[in-house]
Amino acid sequence: MDVGFIGLGAMGRAMAAQLVAAGHRVQVWNRSPEPVAELVAQGAVAADSLAEVFANEVVVSMLANDAAVAALLLDEELLAGASAVVHVNMATISTALAVRAAELYERHGIGYVAAPVLGRPEVAAAGNLNILAAGPEALLDRVAPVFAAVGRHTYRLGAEPQQANLAKISVNFMIFSAVESFAEAAALGESGGLAPADLLEVVTGTVFPGPIYAGYGGSIAADRYEPAGFPVALALKDVNLALEAGAANAVPLPLAGLLRDAYLDNLAHGEGALDSAALGRTARRRANLDGRTD
C-alpha cells in the first residue's frame, strides 16, 4: 500500500518505521528534516511537500495538537488537489475539530478516519499500540493493513470519527486521574515516614496491578521524570480537551479541573517538558514535604 505519513515526532517516527518494516511504500513529511532523513535511511521516501504526500492512496498523520492539524491538514487548496482516498488522523484532537475535519474532507471527496492510539513511543516502536478507530466501515476495512502494522489491536468505535477522539480523551482523563491519586497518596505516605516505593509495591501487588500505577507510580516513587515519555505540556492539552468536551455536552468533570490546575502548577515551576507523572512534584509541593521539619 502507498502511504503518506505526516508528523515525525517520537510517536510518528516509530509508527512510520513500523509501516516501512511491514513492506508498505511510505512517503514521509515533517517540518524539521532530521526525522525525515532517519526514516529515509530505513527505507522510506522523502516528500518535498504536503501535496506529494496527498498523492498517496492513504495519508496518515500524527501531529501534536489542534493548531497543527488545522494549519497543515485543513487547507482547502491542498485538499482540492489531492488524489488520496482516505486520511487517517491518529493524533489526539478535540471532538469539535474532528467534526470539522470530517465535513471538510467529505466536501473534497476524501475519506476521513480518526484513529488515536494508546501507548508511548516505546510501545509504538514495538508495533504494540492499541488503536481507537472510528469512521465509515468501508474506510476502516481499507486502512486495516495500516492498523495491523502499527498496533496489536484495533477497537472500532463507531461511524463518526469524533467518537474515537472522545474515547481517547476519556481514557487519558482516567490515566491522569490515576496518576494524581497515586501522587497524593505517595505524598500522604511520605509525610508519615512511608517510602513511596514501599507504597507502590503494595498497590501494584494487590489492588491496582497493571501498567498505569506501575509505570507512572514508579516515576513518582523515584522522583524521576526524564526522559519524558509523555510531557506535562501534552497532558495539560489533553485535560483541556476533556474539559472542552464536557462543556460541549453539559457533563461536569470536577476531577479534570483539579488535574488542569495541578499541571498548571508544573508549568508555573518550569516543568512543562517533564513526564506527565510529574504530578508527583505538584503533590509534594502542596504538602511542603521538602520544607517540613516535623
- pLDDT tens track for 219-248: 999 999 999 989 999 999 999 999 999 999
Q: How far is CA 281 from the centre of its chain?
A: 22
Q: How far is CA 233 from CA 108, 228, 240, 246, in A?
A: 34, 11, 11, 20
Query: Sign of dihedral through CA atoms 209, 210, 211, 212?
Result: negative
CA distances from 96 to 102, 133, 165, 230, 246 (A): 10, 17, 10, 23, 12
Q: Could you tell me how far CA 175 lies from the centroid of its own chain?
A: 12
What is the Cβ-side half-sphere exposure of residue 117, based on CA atoms within 13 angstroms? Answer: 32
Residue 293 has pLDDT above 80, yes or no: no
Mean pLDDT value across the chain = 97
Q: For 14-42, how does the pLDDT look when each residue is reduced to its tens digit (9 = 90+)? A: 999 999 999 999 999 999 999 999 999 99
Residue 162 CA to residue 125 CA, distance in Å, equals: 26
Mean pLDDT across 256-275:
98
From the list 125, 124, 106, the residue with the least C-alpha distance to 115 is 124
* pLDDT at residue 169 is higher than 80: yes
Q: How many CB atoms lie within 10 A of CB 206?
A: 8
Residue 269, C-beta contacts closer than 8 angstroms, at least 6 positions apart: 281, 285
pLDDT of residue 183 exceeding 90: yes
- Counting Cα atoms < 13 Å in the Cβ hemisphere of 26 gives 32
- What sign results for the dihedral spanned by CA atoms 261, 121, 27, 22? negative
122 Cβ partners below 8 Å, 6+ apart?
14, 229
The CATH code for residues 166-286 is 1.10.1040.10
Is pLDDT at 147 greater than 90 in this prediction? yes
250 residue type, one letter: A
Q: Within the chain, what is the greatest distance between any pair of CA atoms?
A: 69
* Single-letter amino acid code for the residue at 246: G
3-state secondary structure of 194: coil
Q: pLDDT per residue over 105-117, tens digit each?
A: 999 999 999 999 9
pTM (two decimals): 0.95
In this prediction, residue 292 carries a pLDDT of 78
The residue type found at 183 is A
Strand partners, 3: 26, 58
Band (294; pLDDT cuts 50, 70, 90): low
The residues near 193 (Cβ < 8 Å, ≥ 6 apart) are: none
Report the share of the chain in percent with pLDDT over 70.
99
- pLDDT (average), residues 189-216: 97
Residues of the chain with CATH 1.10.1040.10: 166-286
Q: State yes or no: pLDDT of 291 exceeds 90.
A: no
Distance CA 170, CA 88 (A): 20
2-159 topology per CATH? Rossmann fold (3.40.50)
Q: Is the peptide bond prior to 227 cis by the omega test (within 30 degrees of 0)?
A: yes
Has residue 134 got a pLDDT over 70?
A: yes
Q: Helix, strand, or coil here: 27?
A: strand
Residue 169's alpha-carbon distances to 27, 57, 172, 237, in angstroms, are 29, 28, 5, 10
The separation between the first and the last C-alpha atoms of the chain, rounded to the nearest angstrom, is 65
Is the CB of residue 96 less than 8 Å from the CB of residue 244? yes
Average pLDDT on 131-145 reads 98
Q: What are the catalytic residues?
A: 168
Report the distance separating Cα 150 and Cα 56, nearest Å.
18
The residue-averaged pLDDT of 168-193 equals: 98
